[in-house]
Amino acid sequence: MNRDPNVATLLQWASEYQITNSLPTELENDSQKLIEIVDMVESCVGKEFEKGKAKFKLQYGREPTSLEASKNIVPFALYDPVRKQGFLGCIKQCIQNKLPGIEEKYQLNFALKLWSGCLATAKTIALGTQTGKNTAQFRSEMIPRIDTTSTKDMIYRKGEEIACIWKPDPKDISFDGVPTNSNARKYESEWSETRNKINQAMHVMCKIRWN
């Protein structure tokens, strides 16, 4: 579905754990709490990527460039059982006691699906990723596929919904090509408001600099 195979892999791994499609009331409309959970999973993903950088530095005696670092990342699908369990153990530890109303046996399934929905969408509405620039046509093809998966899973859908406000810099996002009725647009007004605030702040800074 997405250019990043790791997103599909974690969604597949989610199905290996006890499945939940229910969303507690306290989480249903708490976008910031959902973003926090995505960030926790993302922190463990980041640690995995750092391992690749460390291996490169050990081999070549220097830090890798961005391109070298991306090429040196081992796809999650190729993880051996020990590394896979270590990675998932990191996620499980991070989300422990952070998911009110969700039994522990369902938490890993919840977190992986939420992250997958968010990242699949975020990488699609981004202006570009390491694999290249995203076009309106690309979004018009990919977002409906994400929406289709969202209709089957409420938690994945929540990930899709929060993607535009999860991205650190709203200027790096475009809704060109995103269908008007897509779940990816749920928080578009909040995204637009944040973008306008950033633009206003930059305008003020420029005026101060040149006065």
Query: pLDDT tens digits, residue range 130-178?
Result: 778 999 999 999 999 999 999 999 999 999 999 999 976 777 999 999 9
pLDDT at position 211, please? 57
Q: How far apart are CA 35 and CA 123, in angstroms?
A: 15
Distance CA 28, CA 41 (A): 19
pLDDT tens figures, 130-140:
778 999 999 99
Beta bridge partners of 113: none
Give me the mean pLDDT over the 121-135 stretch. 90
Domain ranges of the chain: 5-210
pLDDT of amino acid 203:
54
Q: Give this prediction's pTM.
A: 0.88
End-to-end CA distance of the chain: 50
**Cα 51 from Cα 55, distance rounded (Å):** 6
